Amino acid sequence: MNPRHAFNRRLLLQGAVAAGALAAAPGAARAADGPPGTSAPAGAVPGAADRAAARAPGALPGRPYANPLVRNRADPHIQRHTDGRYYFTATVPEYDRIVLRRSRTLRGLTTADEAVVWRRHTSGDMSAHIWAPELHHIDGRWYLYFAAAPAHDVWRIRMWVLENRHPDPFRGTWTERGMITTAWDTFSLDATTFTHRGDRYLAWAQHEPGTDSNTGVFLSRMADPLTLTGPQVRLTTPEYPWERVGFKVNEGAAFLRRNGRIFMTYSASATDSNYCLGLLTADERADLMDPASWTKSPVPVFTSDDTTGQYGPGHNSFTVAEDGRTDVLVYHARQYREITGDPLHDPNRHTRVQRLGWKPDGTPDFGVPVPDHA
């Protein structure tokens, strides 16, 4: 971290690595860069049992999904692109490269070949702490948003962008397009982008000068996939006790549009078993750039669970199951509560998936992290 910021380095690191998330597109008929909507197969008429199942969190439809889906991959981002395939990226425990997988099915990501599409520099910018990549397809091009720091100052973490003009993100050339410039030159990460009512937005986590928190979540419109435009507003900052356990962190935003509302999840507290999801809600007709449009849940919506043996669930993204209409929660968690040493040195944050349920009032029902193999 830059010496002018009076914050403990280990505090910033532990509070920061949980980055990333965007709502992934649900099916071939919908753009891959906006919050997902539902998409049912032609002629499908769900019955009462189907509707009840779709409202309940937990197991996914069809053949059982084995959890963890992908081992030793944190901050997972999965999107279903217009080609019908699932694209996966995540933080690797070495913090040194960006990887991609793809598959026709969610379960296929477990055994899909993993390609390294970019490696950290050996010195200078983008040479340390390669965290929380997200893959987005925007205006016919592929973009990877990620966080990185220079090797000589590993806490000077900022947001960076790669671009690939090839139709296939596993081919072509990934070009470094530079750093995303925000209002402050401070610790920032977890960039995610989405469109709503014709505007493109970027949400990210950043340290706000003059506050005692590690990071809050901010929102801005974008002039293009690389450039912010207009005001940058804070949507949430750690204020409740459950957001300030160990460290004062809000990070890793993900967006989902359903039932006339926009839902934004984010992760809070330290990256150990205290890590959890919070939730903001806005009417889809509201001005998303007005913080007053958002209502914040006073309690966490997804937390560690001793019964299922899953701890520190967070840094989520959203996608849909192969049926095109079942919402899927993607997140990472560990299989044990106690950690020796710094949690960021523990490689066992695994990617997991489960059904996202819906309550009768139209709000998401996260349930609890499902047990292994469920």
Question: Which one of the listed residues 251, 322, 323, 327 is annotated catalytic?
Answer: 251
CA nearest to 99, candidates 80, 83, 76:
76
The question of whether 75 is a catalytic residue gets the answer yes
C-alpha torsion sign, points 168, 169, 175, 179: positive
- In angstroms, the CA 267 to CA 265 distance is 7
Question: Which one of the listed residues 33, 75, 190, 322 is annotated catalytic?
Answer: 75
CA nearest to 5, candidates 137, 157, 132:
157
* Locus of tokens 């520099």: 121
- In angstroms, the CA 201 to CA 194 distance is 6
For residues 75-101, one letter each, b for 16 or more C-beta atoms within 10 angstroms of the residue's C-beta and e for the rest, the string is bbbbbbbeeebbbbbbbbeebeebbbb
The question of whether 338 is a catalytic residue gets the answer no
- In angstroms, the CA 85 to CA 82 distance is 7
Following DSSP, what letter does each residue of 295-323 receive, concatenated?
A: EE-SS-SB--BTTTTBEEEEEEEEEE-TT
What amino acid positions are annotated as catalytic residues? Answer: 75, 251
